[in-house]
Structure 1
Amino acid sequence: MRSVHVTGPGTASWVEVDRPTAGPADVLLRVRACGICGSDALYTSHGGIPPRQGATPLGHEPAAEVVEVGNQVDGLSVGDHVVLDTMAFTDGLLGSGGAQGALSEFVVVRDAEVGRQVKVIPRHVPWQVAALNEPMAVALHAVNRTAPGPGDKVVVFGAGPIGLGAVLGYRRKGVEHVVVVDIVPSRLEKALQVGADAVVNSAEEDVAARLVELHGDGSTPRVRGVRPGTDIYLDAAGAPVVPRTVTSIAKHGATFGVVAVHKTPVEIDFGAVLATELNLVWAMGYPTEIFEVTDDLVQNWQEYAVVVSDTLPFDRALDALTLAATPGAADKVVVLLD
């Protein structure tokens, strides 16, 4: 069968590999959709999973159809539509250094257990939306790490897929007000579509001043300067200006969460931040959220569908990787397999 692999630094290629087979404890899946992640571009550029180099199967945002069920597996039937925990495969992380990748016609789940690697979803959910399950779990984990509560005022930097997923997550958590900051008007429009209360174009507006208008004055005698009343900031952009902005304007006791991958070091003046007692948290992956997000995605799939900007057929998977890696060309690209 055909599969997309990193075959060298800066190169992803079609590779012919053996179609996997399922044993008594396994489930064979036909991949029906796979999202393209920013880490796919990172792996390709590096020539493998950093710091290692070498041939690497790509694709870790799949939705699939069950085509064969081992006789020792319970709770699954041929024809079921499923989403996957790609970090729970017993042969390594799917599409992130493991033996298989979801930019392939088929994958096999070894030692398959419903609720461990596999969750069944209704058939009415479009494949391209089902493929959002993995990145939306990443977004929900970031939301959970910032511990939002009712009445909180939130700012999300970056209206890409993770940022939009975070907006959906914060809305479900019942926060009072969500602002999204970006520099791309079309992305800001999407943020409003998925539930942001307001947006700020940081290329045209003073972020601090606008947040004071939206979230009130959060300054106190012990912390000098303009301090919006924002309770939570989330960096889903990965631009060096974001940490510098947040640490310079955050009120006393605010929380700053980072889910974005920063590709260059960021300098922060800890001395200036000290008096704010800023809570800094980090988010990576999805320790518990991979299937927690599924029910919400199924119930509200039309809202999640807004996140997808482009769909390409499997034959054009290499084009999809290029499109997703081109700054400003697309927001969320999903490959569809017939």
Structure 2
Amino acid sequence: MNASTGSATAPRGGTPIRSSSGIWLVAEREIGSKLRSKAFVISTVVLMLIALAGILIGGFASKNTDATPIAATSQTASAVSALPDVKVTEVADADAAEALVRDGKVDAAVVPGDGATGFTVIALKDAPSSIVAGLSQAPTVEILEPATTNPLLRYFIALGFGIVFLMAASTFGGTIAQSVVEEKQTRVVELLLSAIPARTLLAGKVIGNTILAMAQIVGLAAIATIGLIVTGQNEVLSVLGAPIIWFAVFFLFGFVLLASMFAAAASMVSRQEDIGATTTPITMLIMAPYILVIVFNDNPLVLTIMSYVPFSAPVGMPMRLFVGEAQWWEPLLSLVILLVSCVVAIAIGAKIYENSLLRMGSRVKLGEALRG
């Protein structure tokens, strides 16, 4: 490769490789090496199975709640049937209802009464509190800051987005870093650079690992969709559909940004044991959104800030869309910020990568890598 121009130089007796062809050759090499790895295949399958099991178990658990058996007359059956988690047995009159309670066939009976509610609850020893509360006249309640979603569901959705982002970004980012250092350590990079420019090599690595990461994200999204449909959680799916799509879009560009940084950081060292010295700051940037979205999933201010910071936008913006706190234009603005940041990161990362790739021995300092 010509050091001043970065143009490709043909191998002896061969022909130059076009940049586009070189990029896809490198990308195919990255994808093939990963797919041939039994550890990667097994870990991916296990991750998919865990995701599916979690959704199915959660869905069936929410459906298989024990219904309280209640006796009711024709006058009270409609009101009792409207209560959650009850199994109504309709009887002819109050005496028949009382008989079922005494025989232990139902937990309680609801019959017409003379009180303010018009109902009387008959129980053997203790009346079910859920039935009493459901038939009571509650006072008018005014909530100043109503919760937009179920707090428990909100927490699990935040946990899901955080874990998927953390695992995918760290796994494939680490793969790029190890690949770069391995090629330097074995001097394979010198052979590669004799055929293709350094920027082409970098682009191929980023694209190849981005394809693998996105395939994993799409697979998890498909499993989540199937699991919600099978367990009858269509309401959750209707609310979660758009955030999942936005998560995939933001993750695509966010990972390209991170992948470029991982490759650039790894090119500054020549030994596998030194990778952590340069990639730790990037790893911290990946862990930060995971921690913040779990701890502050109910804090609108923190989520708003996260949704506009490039490193945390893939997690923060989908969460705000899920809870209904984002306006229609906000994900578009956040995506523009992410794209601009991605271009800047790629430009800087490519310069560091190109200037450090052939430097062996001690770690290259960041200032030297930027100056060339």
The TM-score with structure 1 as length reference comes to: 0.25
**Which structure has more strand as a fraction of its residues?**
1
**Which structure has more helix as a fraction of its residues?**
2
The TM-score with structure 2 as length reference comes to: 0.23
Name the larger-Rg structure.
2
Greater RCO, 1 or 2 (C-alpha within 8 Å, sep 6+): 2
